[in-house]
Chains A and B, each alone.
Chain A
Amino acid sequence: MSQGDRERLPGACEGESLALSVEGLTVRFGRGAHAVTALADVSVTVPSGHTVGLVGESGSGKSTLAKAILGVAPVSAGRVLLDGAEEPQRTVNRRVRMIPQDPYSSLNPRRTIGQTLAEALDPVRAKVNRHREAIEAALTEVALPLDAVGRYPHEFSGGQRQRVAIARALITRPSVVIADEITSALDVSVQAEVLALLARLRHELSLTMLFISHNLAVVEQVSDEVVVLHHGHVVESGPVGEVFAAPAADHTRALLAAVPGPAKEAR
């Protein structure tokens, strides 16, 4: 791939390395006449140290894109590049970690928080004692008490569980983090708490993140760039401030108009 190609990709910034780039990705479900195109020639780039927000309504293909990157959706065309190179799926999955949406279904109720985090570090043996230091460091990072190591998920609230899920994704220091609607199952106050945590970690660890959400206000809060998906097509992309202030696509305007409540005074 030449430098010239790269610059045309939406979201790309000159002079920065691209941690993750998706080129011309097409995903179809089903066969023959019943085939549904979930993603059509989608290109997204996430520069190193940046957070790219992916917005769209349900069915727009946001989660399918995450699945395609992780190799669990059937890709019929296009490719996924890590640091500009095509890698085997196994490597991609080691370097890209996902934070799932629902903290109630993403933690095994029969395993302690320590065991869950140990498994992320060492999928084969998953021994807590061997990795105790790393686990405790990860818990401290997301502001959870250290005694959480020996406790079970049901002893924690939704927000705390989501912190565990974040710790699990970050504990291996992945190149890219994909956050798939991670606040949509939470109460607003808990959502605020999780977003604050994410904002802090973004700076402390200079995270590279693909942040998927249907909530434009949330995306605005945590993202540098935004990509708007509609029926599997990228309709608009660019820096968050520019896109939200002067949306070029009709669909982006419709999405912005539907956000309830007046704007908060600029802080």
Chain B
Amino acid sequence: MAEPGRLRWNPALVAGTVVLGGTALTIFVASFVMGDAAERLSADIAHPVSGEHWLGTDYFGRDQLARALVGAEASLLMALAATAISMVIGVAAGAAVWTAPRRLREFSLRIVEITVSYPELLVAVVLAAILGAGRWQLVVAVAVANIPATARLTANLSGALYQRDFVTTARLTGVPRRAVISRHLLPNMAEPLLIQLAATFSTGLVAMSALSFVGLGVQTPDFDLGRLLADALPSIYSRPIEVVGPTLLILLLSVGAMLVGDGLAAAADPRVSRGKSTTRRSGRASGATGQAVVADLEVVRTDGVPLVRGVSFEIGRGEIVGLVGESGSGKSLTALSLARLLPDGLSATASDLRAGAVDLLGRPSRRELVDAVAMIYQDPGTTFNPALRMGAQLTEVLRVHKGLSKRAARAVIVDLLAKVHIPDPERLLAAHPYELSGGMRQRAMIAAALAAEPALLVADEPTTALDTTVAAGILRELARIRDETGTSILFISHDLGVVEELCDRVLVMKDGAIVEELTQEALRTGDVTSPYTRMLLDAVPRLAVRS
């Protein structure tokens, strides 16, 4: 969710505001000044375009431009009224649904879903036909037709917010229902609702014009843009100029509102303007000989803020190196640079970046990358696609990048799964991710990572999301892999206790730089020099009593 802050202007928003604001202002001023000209009959019947009448006159001698602008005012006001009604009722209903008791809520949500499935224009046509023709009937018809969409959007947004702790806390504190909605729900969905507002206005305006055009809306002698178009239709071949004014105004108003909506959407999503990530060489390679080499790695944000500042280290064959630091220290970015997986908007430079025989600064093919680096992520709950069976996901690397047949890949994976102590590998391959526990998924992830026999295994907080007993098993697994296969492992964690148990060497990172390098022995005995490492060590809660 975006934090409160200033509005980020963008071209669509500027253009939309100028078009919509300019048109609306012109309409209001014009209808104030030219209101009389639009109604007054004169002898100048069906005049063509002239300096006096910019869009000519109609068969009753009325000025067409004045009529278009006055009609547009009616359309604009009606669209605003309909938008206001549908937004107020839709938002109120959508938010209230979530504060209702469960049964009522489920029932109401189904009703909203059913009503959303009817096209808005169709509903508006039916309602207008039932209510009869006229300005207010038209406003009500279009407003009601637009309510379900707004209600569903609000209900969905409220549903997501309702699960958040601050809403739960407020409810438990005894905050009244209305205050929960006005203080906690509505302010946090302001952006999407503004976008919805713009869209509702735009579609409402077009729908009203359409209804008036087919005779279900405003009736003569009243007129709006749709009515003017209908009046102009019979003579469209002889006097096409009559449709120009109303058409142009419908276009300007609806496109202006659409642009504002688009602009608001873009402003609400800060990701739009970011560029793709890059990884470049910054200097001469150092000639280091480790299984994995990182030299002078720097990661910089597009706005120039450095996130990793000159990190260098090597990992030998069969070595587990721990990378420790707190959130924001740059440890994950270092790992992601190695896997060439930096998020958009970041650029990395290094004088040397290698894993096994693969130069990661060049343009490694996918296949080379597979040979070089494999990753294990923190949350085993989100690493797998919930819709696919484990078998297809675990064998993917082998089938796609190593060119193995389905059966051969399966055999390799079954073997690896058995090695990471999964009791019934065949059954796991047939299962969907949700059927497995977190520990099982993490073991499966490790098996999949090993399938490609990478030179370097990067484990990014692989035990943080797991229970301690399960985590202990995963750590044993990683140590065994190192001993048996000689894979180099970069183990990232914020927990010194875990790192101390597993790693041969530990690098401590702070603010994007390595502040200390320790051996396992030094860490165990507390033989550290950097005050930061000392602070981290002291912060780890340890059992004072051991049975």
Decide: B468 and A119 in contact? CB cutoff 8 A.
no
- Cα A168 to Cα B173 in complex, Å, equals 10
Of the candidates A72, A107, A245, A256, the one whose C-beta lies within 8 Å of that of B166 is A107
- Cα A141 to Cα B81 in complex, Å, equals 51
Nearest neighbor of B502 in chain A, beta-carbon distance: A260
In this assembly, does B524 line the interface, its C-beta being within 8 Å of a C-beta of chain A?
Answer: yes
In this assembly, does B272 line the interface, its C-beta being within 8 Å of a C-beta of chain A?
Answer: no
Name the B residues within 8 Å of A107 (CB-CB). 166
- Cα A94 to Cα B173 in complex, Å, equals 7
**A188 in contact with B495 given A119-B173, A255-B469 (CB within 8 Å):** yes
- Cα A263 to Cα B524 in complex, Å, equals 11
**A260 in contact with B501 given A90-B174, A126-B183 (CB within 8 Å):** yes
In this assembly, does A214 line the interface, its C-beta being within 8 Å of a C-beta of chain B?
Answer: yes
**Separation in Å of the B532 CB from the closest CB of chain A?**
9
Tally of contacts, chain A with chain B, CB under 8 A: 163
**Separation in Å of the B485 CB from the closest CB of chain A?**
23
Of the candidates B169, B184, B188, B469, the one whose C-beta lies within 8 Å of that of A57 is B469
Decide: A154 and B541 in contact? CB cutoff 8 A.
no
In this assembly, does B230 line the interface, its C-beta being within 8 Å of a C-beta of chain A?
Answer: no
**Separation in Å of the A15 CB from the closest CB of chain B?**
26
**Separation in Å of the B326 CB from the closest CB of chain A?**
4
How many of chain B's residues have a CB under 8 angstroms from any CB in A? Answer: 49
Decide: B326 and A188 in contact? CB cutoff 8 A.
yes
Of the candidates B1, B174, B538, B542, the one whose C-beta lies within 8 Å of that of A109 is B1
Name the B residues within 8 Å of A244 (CB-CB). 543, 545-547
Name the B residues within 8 Å of A126 (CB-CB). 175, 179, 183
**A259 in contact with B169 given A108-B183, A152-B4, A187-B494 (CB within 8 Å):** no
Nearest neighbor of B496 in chain A, beta-carbon distance: A188
**Separation in Å of the A51 CB from the closest CB of chain B?**
15
- Cα A93 to Cα B472 in complex, Å, equals 38
In this assembly, does B530 line the interface, its C-beta being within 8 Å of a C-beta of chain A?
Answer: no
In this assembly, does B479 line the interface, its C-beta being within 8 Å of a C-beta of chain A?
Answer: no
Q: Which of A119, A191, A192 has the most CB of B within 10 A?
A: A119
**Separation in Å of the A175 CB from the closest CB of chain B?**
15
Decide: B545 and A253 in contact? CB cutoff 8 A.
no
In this assembly, does B498 line the interface, its C-beta being within 8 Å of a C-beta of chain A?
Answer: yes
Of the candidates A124, A154, A187, A247, the one whose C-beta lies within 8 Å of that of B3 is A154
**Separation in Å of the A58 CB from the closest CB of chain B?**
6
Residues of B487-516 whose CB lies within 8 A of A: 494-498, 500-501
How many of chain A's residues have a CB under 8 angstroms from any CB in B? Answer: 64
Nearest neighbor of A245 in chain B, beta-carbon distance: B545
Name the A residues within 8 Å of B536 (CB-CB). 188-189
Q: B: which residues have CB within 8 A of A? A: 1, 3-4, 164-166, 168-170, 172-176, 179, 183-184, 187-188, 326-327, 438, 467-472, 475, 494-498, 500-501, 524, 535-536, 538-547
Q: A: which residues have CB within 8 A of B? A: 57-58, 70, 72, 90, 93-94, 97-98, 100-102, 105-111, 115-116, 119-120, 123-124, 126, 152, 154, 158, 168, 187-192, 195, 214-218, 220-221, 240-241, 244-247, 253-264, 266-267
A sample of 6 cross-chain residue pairs with beta-carbon separation below 8 angstroms, ordered by A number, consists of A108-B187, A110-B188, A111-B183, A119-B175, A244-B547, A259-B542
Q: Which 10 A-B pairs have the closest CB atoms?
A: A192-B539, A217-B541, A106-B165, A261-B497, A110-B187, A57-B467, A264-B542, A187-B326, A100-B165, A258-B468
